[in-house]
Amino acid sequence: MSKMQNRSYLRRYAWLSILAALLTMGIKATGYWLTRSVGLLSDALESGVNLVAAVSALAALTISAQPPDEEHAYGHQKVEYLSSGAEGGLIALAAISIIIAAVQRLLDPQPLAQLGLGLGLSASASLINLAVGSVLIRIGKRHHSIALEADGQHLMTDVWTSVGVLIGVGLVALSGWSILDPIVAILVALQISFTAYRLLRRSALGLIDTALPKTQVDAIKSKLNSYEGVQYHALRTREAGSRSFISYHIQVPGEWSVQRGHDLLEQMEAEVRALAPNATVFTHLEPLEDPRSWSDQDLDRAPPPDEEAEAI
């Protein structure tokens, strides 16, 4: 199955997330209408954010599936970071809305009604999110889809949020203290804010070409060091959505033939790709004895010594 077909396959899971968001939003809104619990209102608002996030993930997966073109030679995978960043912003707005509603309820407490039915509706919605979120996370990790994985993580956060709301409403039912409902809602909003921060941070790091995880980079270094008689430098890695990019320079004895050097690079690239699935690997062959081979270890290639002297 080609990468394009894989992306088409992933869009089915985005549609599953959209359907789950619509269903849970309806269930939780019904629970709020019956109980007038601001905690259940916060839960319903977050389900609305889930819907927007799922639509955003669907759009991102559709765009990222497009093949490279003249204007986007490295593909369109980074659009997934835009999706997760937008999701983080929406979650932050939902948290602010919840806090405003909770403070108003603190200042003007209202009794809750039909708590048993409200708790049952919220619990059923949480089970739906638990099932769908688990699937999205598993498929997202398997296919290296940040947008899909983030959507699944958001649903799992919604599950824990709903658990907190259930506890809050349950405490109101047991104690009769209506003030516990808005207090729990504020705690829910703080937890949602932390989720928004993590999503925004992860999206920002992806957009500024963050390197691959240290464990993966260490494995690549170990593999490159395992070759005798050759050296490497200028190893650089970056992530871009579902893809990653790796580049390095290989120094070999100058008397080697072009064919021998090419065969070595082909072997090394294949072994590096085995350590980093979905990676595009760029290599550059240099003669070990040439001093100029060491002038490009930094990101910006240093000028040759003669040019430096002329500049002075």
Q: Are 18 and 54 in contact (CB under 8 A)?
A: yes
- Which residues, at least 6 apart from 102, have a Cβ–Cβ distance to it below 8 Å? 38, 42, 182, 183, 185, 186, 189
**At 38, is the pLDDT very low, low, confident or very high (cuts 50, 70, 90)?**
low
Distances (CA, A) of 291 to 107, 256, 311: 74, 17, 19
Q: What is the sign, positive or negative, of the torsion defined by CA atoms of 254, 260, 266, 270?
A: negative
pLDDT score of 309 more than 70 = no
* 3-207 is classed CATH 3.10.20.30: no
Same fold across 3-207 and 214-311: no
Q: Whose CA is closest to 241, among 93, 62, 1, 92?
A: 62
Return the top range by mean pLDDT from 26-35, 40-49, 75-84. 75-84
Lowest-pLDDT choice from 7-16, 93-102, 207-216, 299-308 = 299-308
Distance CA 168, CA 74 (A): 49
Distance CA 84, CA 147 (A): 6
The percentage of the chain sitting over the pLDDT mark of 90, rounded to a whole number, equals 20
Q: What is the pLDDT of residues 210-269, one digit of tens each?
A: 889 899 999 999 999 998 888 998 899 998 777 889 999 999 999 999 999 999 999 999
Q: Are 245 and 74 in contact (CB under 8 A)?
A: yes
Distance CA 122, CA 197 (A): 25
Cβ atoms within 10 Å of 61's Cβ, excluding its own: 27
- The residues spanned by each domain of the chain are 3-207, 214-311
- pLDDT at residue 29, as a whole number: 78
Q: Indicate the CATH number for domain 214-311.
A: 3.30.70.1350
Determine the distance from the C-alpha atom of residue 309 to the mean position of all C-alpha atoms in its chain, rounded to a whole number. Answer: 48
Per-residue b or e along 205-244, where b marks 16 or more CB atoms closer than 10 Å to that residue's CB: ebeeeeebeeebbebbeeebeeeeebebebbebbbbbbbb
Q: Are 270 and 283 in contact (CB under 8 A)?
A: no
What pTM was estimated for this model as a whole? 0.68
